[in-house]
């Protein structure tokens, strides 16, 4: 079948990238000038990428209208005898009918399990309720899960899949931009506990990721912006050409042109796939994905989570840009360029004046990724190239937070 042949061709393309297996940041940053070429991977309107992780490798499939086609592909994949679709109540109302119809048409046996939407559901109570549902349905190690929805559903379902009967297969069907460009790829799963976000979790890779850019049509604008902050992040950390194209194609991206979205999502997934293949468990180079997040998480927490994640990350990126300029690592011109792009996508760049700076700094020191109380920062060296450093003077942080 020609499509299979082409899939192989793409796999080989990505295999080559994966085989370069950078072990440290320098090898990864050396690859940063790989062309952004947003449209390069378009293929009969279907884009296939591969996350190269040896026997845990998997494909990411991106196609407009794919939601109804998941069944046919899943039937071919043959990872499980039957699947339970796990979705929040909102997402289930929007997309479960179409997804389930396609699955049933392809002869895939399926059940639907739901939980209330929102981050507050991302906890062990939901996990244990869903596990009980599975047990009552007689789910065993030959059965699988489908995570349908945003990052909350992806994280819950992936975590459940990793621990139910010591591990069952799962696939991702992400429906927010944030989930399509970030959380559905890379195998981080988990839930929150009252003491902090994502403190319980596992690394557990999906068997496949199915991305339909068309489902983003119903996504509220503030949820869209959460994903756009991550999209800009990829440009800064990895691909200057892509950054430039985000500037050029802003209007069609914001208008949610499906072709434009598909190519943006594909480039982000390709970058994440390469970063994850080089350092699956975030021992070193995967940390570049935290650009804007060290400060962003602190700002988000200091706002008592009234600031959305995307807004906090946007502020984090703009603030850390000032730190990089003050350290003499980055040019003022590039920092302004980044600030301009963030604002062009409707995201903030200033720490809100009402936020207590001391509280932000206190959160920085308790970040779970700190090593002995020292936060690390991902600092830009050029657009498309970053370095990781824990050598940032408190004075520079104060200065950047002062705005
Ligand atoms: N595992 C990872 O690598 C990773 C990475 C980043 C973030 N995350 C996690 O992801 C979570 C945030 O994900 P999120 O922003 O997708 O939140 P979410 O899953 O709560 O989705 C946001 C809202 O959008 C609704 N929604 C989803 N798709 C929709 C659509 N197509 N149309 C209309 N409404 C839709 C949902 O019902 C929900 O109310 C956080 O818990 C975060 O910790 C995980
Ligand atoms: Zn993020």
What is this structure's pTM? 0.91
* DSSP conformation letters of 347-393: ---S--TTS-HHHHHHHHHH-TT-BTTB--EEEEEETTEEEEES---
Ligand closest to the CA atom of residue 89: 1
DSSP lists the bridge partners of residue 208 as 59
222 is catalytic: no
Assess contact for 329 and 379: CB atoms under 8 A.
Answer: yes
* Cα gap 298→80, rounded to integer Å: 41
Assess contact for 268 and 220: CB atoms under 8 A.
Answer: no
How are the residues of the chain apportioned to helix, strand and coil, as percentages rounded to the nearest 5?
55, 15, 30
Q: Do domains 2-219 and 291-402 have the same CATH topology?
A: no
Within 9-57, strands assigned E span 46-51
Ligand closest to the CA atom of residue 156: 1
What is the predicted pLDDT for the residue at 79? 87
pLDDT digits (tens, 9 = 90+) for 179-207: 999 999 999 999 999 988 999 999 999 99
Which of 286, 300, 322, 385 is catalytic? The answer is 286
Residue 158 confidence (pLDDT) above 70: yes
User: Best of 64, 127, 183 to mutate for ligand 1, by most ligand atoms within 8 A of CB?
Assistant: 183
What DSSP designation does 234 have? Answer: H
Q: Could you tell me the distance, in angstroms and rounded to a whole number, from the CA of residue 151 to the centre of ligand 1?
A: 4
What is the CATH number that goes with domain 2-219? 3.40.50.1970
Residue 374's pLDDT band, with cuts at 50, 70 and 90, is confident
Q: Which residue has the higher pLDDT, 34 or 303?
A: 303
Residue 119 confidence (pLDDT) above 80: yes
The domain segmentation of the chain, as residue ranges, is 2-219, 291-402
What is the predicted pLDDT for the residue at 371? 65
104 is catalytic: no
Assess contact for 31 and 40: CB atoms under 8 A.
Answer: no
Ligand closest to the CA atom of residue 308: 1
Q: Which ligand 1 atom sits closest to the C-alpha of 122? A: 41
Q: Could you tell me the distance, in angstroms and rounded to a whole number, from the CA of residue 55 to the centre of ligand 2?
A: 28
In short, whether 151's Cβ falls inside 6 Å of ligand 1 is yes
DSSP lists the bridge partners of residue 188 as 203
* Cα gap 344→285, rounded to integer Å: 29
Beta strand pairing call for 82-88 and 188-193: unpaired
Nearest CA to ligand 1 atom 19: 150
pLDDT digits (tens, 9 = 90+) for 361-372: 999 988 767 666
Residue 373 confidence (pLDDT) above 80: no
Residue 30 confidence (pLDDT) above 60: no
Helices 309-326 and 293-302: angle between axes, nearest 10 degrees:
130
What is the predicted pLDDT for the residue at 17? 30
What is the CATH number that goes with domain 291-402? 1.20.1090.10
Q: What is the CA radius of gyration of the chain?
A: 20
């Amino acid at each position: 079948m020609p499509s299979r042949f082409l899939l192989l061709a793409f796999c080989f393309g990505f295999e080559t990238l994966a085989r370069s297996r950078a072990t440290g940041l320098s090898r990864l940053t050396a690859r940063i000038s790989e062309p952004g070429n947003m449209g390069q991977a378009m293929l009969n309107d279907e884009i296939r990428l591969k996350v190269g992780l040896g026997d845990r490798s998997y494909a990411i499939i991106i196609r407009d209208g794919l939601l109804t086609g998941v069944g046919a592909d899943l039937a071919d994949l043959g990872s499980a005898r039957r699947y339970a679709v796990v979705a929040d109540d909102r997402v289930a109302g929007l997309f479960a009918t179409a997804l389930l119809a396609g699955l049933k048409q392809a002869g895939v046996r399926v059940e639907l399990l739901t939980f209330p939407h929102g981050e507050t559901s991302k906890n062990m109570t939901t996990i244990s309720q869903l596990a009980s549902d599975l047990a009552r349905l007689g789910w065993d190690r030959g059965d699988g899960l489908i995570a349908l929805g945003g990052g909350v559903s992806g994280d819950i379902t992936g975590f459940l899949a990793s621990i139910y009967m010591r591990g069952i297969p799962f696939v991702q069907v992400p429906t927010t931009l944030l989930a399509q460009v970030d959380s559905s790829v890379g195998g981080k799963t988990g839930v929150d506990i009252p003491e902090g976000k994502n403190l319980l979790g596992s690394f557990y890779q999906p068997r496949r990721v199915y991305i339909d850019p068309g489902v983003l049509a119903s996504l509220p604008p503030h949820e869209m912006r959460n994903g756009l902050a991550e999209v800009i992040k990829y440009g800064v950390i990895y691909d200057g050409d892509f950054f430039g194209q985000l500037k050029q194609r802003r209007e069609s991206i914001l208008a949610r042109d499906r072709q434009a979205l598909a190519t943006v999502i594909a480039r982000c997934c390709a970058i994440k796939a390469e970063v994850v293949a080089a350092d699956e468990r975030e021992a070193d180079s995967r940390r570049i994905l935290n650009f804007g997040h060290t400060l962003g998480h602190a700002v988000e927490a200091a706002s008592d989570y009234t600031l959305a994640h995307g807004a906090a990350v946007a502020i984090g990126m703009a603030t850390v840009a000032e730190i990089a300029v003050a350290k003499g690592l980055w040019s003022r011109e590039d920092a302004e360029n980044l600030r301009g792009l963030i604002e062009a996508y409707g995201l903030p760049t200033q720490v809100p004046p009402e936020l207590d700076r001391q509280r932000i700094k206190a959160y920085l020191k308790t970040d779970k990724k700190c090593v002995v109380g020292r936060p690390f920062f991902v600092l830009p060296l050029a657009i498309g190239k970053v370095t990781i450093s824990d050598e940032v003077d408190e004075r520079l942080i104060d200065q950047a937070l002062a705005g």
